[in-house]
Structure 1
Amino acid sequence: MTYLEIEQSDQRNAAVTGGIAIIIMALASAFSYGLVLESLVIQDDMNATFQNILSSNGLFTAGILGWLIILICDIVVAWSFYIFLKPLHKNLSLLASWLRLTYAGILGVAILNLVIVIILANSTGSFFSTNDLPVLANVFLEAFKMIWSIGLIIFGGHLMMVGYLTFRSKNIPKPISILLLIASFAYMIIHVCYTFLPQLNAFTSVLEVVLTIPMVLGELGFGIWLLFKGGKVPLVRDAGFTKKQMNIQ
C-alpha cells in the first residue's frame, strides 16, 4: 500500500469516526439538555427545580452520564477533524482541534457543577439545612450554564476554523460549509451576550431560537456527510489556494 493510499485510508477512518461521534453527541445532547435539563429546571423557581431533581434523581444522574458521553465525543471529534482536515491546512486544522479540546476541558469543569447538584440532592437530612439545599443547587446549576456558555464561545471559534477549511475544499458541499460558518458566528454572538450582557437575555433568547436551525444542522450535517462520503476520495483544495498560502508541511 502506497503512502497516498495509507493517508486516504486514515482520512476515511477519521471521517467515519468523527461522523459517528457527532451523531452520538447530538443524541446525547438531545437527551441531557433537551429532555433532562429543560424538563427539570424551572426558570426562576429554585424550589420547584430542586423538588424535580429530588423526584427524578435517576433521570438527572442519567443526564450527567449523557454529558460525559458528549465530552468524550468532543475529544474524539477533535482528533478526527484534525486527521481529516490536515491535507487542507495542517496548522489551521491543528488550531481547530485545540479549540475543540479547550472547549471540552471547559465543558468538563461545567459538568462537575451538575455532579455537585446531585450530591446536594442526595444530602437531604444531612448537615445542610433543608432551606439551603435549593439555593445551593441553584447556584451550581447557574455555574454550569455560565461555564458551559463560556466554552461555547470557544466552540464557535472551532466551528469557524472548520467552516473556513471545508469552504476551501472542492469535495465538501458548500451548503455544509456555509451552515458551519453561520453556526460559528451564532454560537459566539449568542454566548457572548449570555455571558457578558445578561441585560440582553430577552433579545438573546429570541436570537437563539432564530439561529437554532443552522446551529444544529451545521455540525450535524457535516457529521452525516463525513460518515457517508468523507475520505472516499482525497480532499482537493480550491484553486484559490496556492501552496504558499496553504503552508503545507
Structure 2
Amino acid sequence: MIDKSTTSSTNIYTKVAGITYILIIILALIPSSIFDIGSMLKAKDAAKNLVGHEGIFRIGIAIEFMMFLLVMVLSWALYVILKPVNKNLALLGLIFRFGEAILGCVIIVFYLMVLMFLGGAEYLQVFEAEQLQALARFSLILSGVGYHILLTVMGIGGLVFCYLFYISTYIPRPLAAWGIITYLTMIIYGFINIALQNPQSELAYAMAPGALFEVIIGFWLLFKGVNVNQQKQPQ
C-alpha cells in the first residue's frame, strides 16, 4: 500500500523531471541557432569574427552551462523517482547522468579557451596570430572529442533510467522501450565517433529520435506523471 504522502512526493519529483527534460531540449537548441563556432573558426578572419561577436558567443556558452546544470537536477529527480524500483540501478543512472553534466562543463571550458586564445589579451602577444588560431582550433577539436564521450556516458545513464521505467511500468512500456532504443543508439554513435577517425556525418541523423523522445517523456512526466500504483518493492 502506497501512502498519500509518498504519492504526493513522487508527483513533485516527476514534475521536476518533466520540466527539466523540456527545458534541456529547449536550451540545447538555442546555442546552435545563435552561432556555429566551427564555421567561424574556418574563416581566415576567425579572430576578428569572434572578437566582434564575443557577447553572442558568451551568451550561447552560458546557455549551455545552464543546460548542464539542469541535467544535474534531472538526474537527481529521476534517481528519487526510480529508487523504489531498484536503488542500485537508480544510483548507477544518477552517476552516469551526473558524469554527463561534468563532461559538459569541461566542454564549456574548451569553448571559453577558444575565446581566450582569440581574444587579443596582452599576455598572448608573444604568440603569432596563426599560432593562436591553431590553439583555438585545437580546443574546438577537444570539445568535439569530449562531446562524443559525453554522448556515450549520457546514453548509459539514460539507458539505465529507461530500463527502470520499463520494468516498473511507471510510464507506458512502449515509451520506455523507445527510450532504451534511443539511448542505446546514442551509446553506439558515441563509440563509433571515438573509434573511427572520420565517420559519416549522416550518422548524426540517428540522434534525431532521441531529442523527440526527451520532449515526449518530458511532457508525459509533467502532465501524466507516473503510475505509482505499479511501484515495486525496493531491490
TM-score, with normalisation over the residues of structure 1?
0.84
Q: Distance in 2 between matches of 1:60 and 1:18?
A: 29
Letter matched to residue 11 of structure 2: R
- Change in CA separation of 1:161 and 1:129 when aligned onto 2, cut-off 3 Å: same
**Residue number in structure 2 paired with 1:240:** none
The answer on 1:224 being equivalent to 2:222 is: no
Aligned 8 A contact 1:28 1:70 in 2 = yes
**Residue number in structure 2 paired with 1:184:** 183
Deviation at 1:193, TM superposition (A): 1.2
Aligned 8 A contact 1:149 1:191 in 2 = yes
The answer on 1:198 being equivalent to 2:189 is: no
Structure-to-structure mapping, 1:1-249, within 5 angstroms: 4-32=3-31, 34-37=32-35, 39-42=36-39, 45=42, 47=44, 49-123=46-120, 126-127=124-125, 128-199=127-198, 201-202=199-200, 205-209=201-205, 211-231=206-226, 233-237=227-231, 248=234
Q: Distance in 1 between matches of 2:185 and 2:45?
A: 31
Letter matched to residue 109 of structure 2: L
Deviation at 1:142, TM superposition (A): 0.9
Q: Which runs of 5+ in 1 are unaligned?
A: 238-242
Deviation at 1:51, TM superposition (A): 4.4
Letter matched to residue 145 of structure 1: G
- Change in CA separation of 1:208 and 1:219 when aligned onto 2, cut-off 3 Å: same
Aligned 8 A contact 1:166 1:172 in 2 = yes
Deviation at 1:63, TM superposition (A): 1.1
Q: Which runs of 5+ in 2 are unaligned?
A: none
Deviation at 1:215, TM superposition (A): 1.3
- Change in CA separation of 1:83 and 1:142 when aligned onto 2, cut-off 3 Å: same
RMSD: 2.3
For residue 88 of structure 1, give the secondary structure of its aligned residue in structure 2. Answer: coil
- Change in CA separation of 1:216 and 1:100 when aligned onto 2, cut-off 3 Å: same
Aligned 8 A contact 2:25 2:214 in 1 = no
Deviation at 1:218, TM superposition (A): 2.1
Q: Distance in 2 between matches of 1:147 and 1:105?
A: 11
TM-score, with normalisation over the residues of structure 2?
0.89
Per-residue CA distance 1:87-106 (angstroms, 9 max, x = gap): 22222111111111111111
Q: Distance in 1 between matches of 2:138 and 2:183?
A: 29
Q: Distance in 2 between matches of 1:44 and 1:65?
A: 20
- Runs of 4 or more consecutive aligned structure 1 residues displaced over 6 Å after TM superposition: none
Letter matched to residue 236 of structure 1: Q
Letter matched to residue 234 of structure 1: V
Q: Distance in 2 between matches of 1:19 and 1:51?
A: 41
Percent identity (aligned) = 24
- Change in CA separation of 1:83 and 1:216 when aligned onto 2, cut-off 3 Å: same
For residue 30 of structure 2, give the secondary structure of its aligned residue in structure 1. Answer: helix
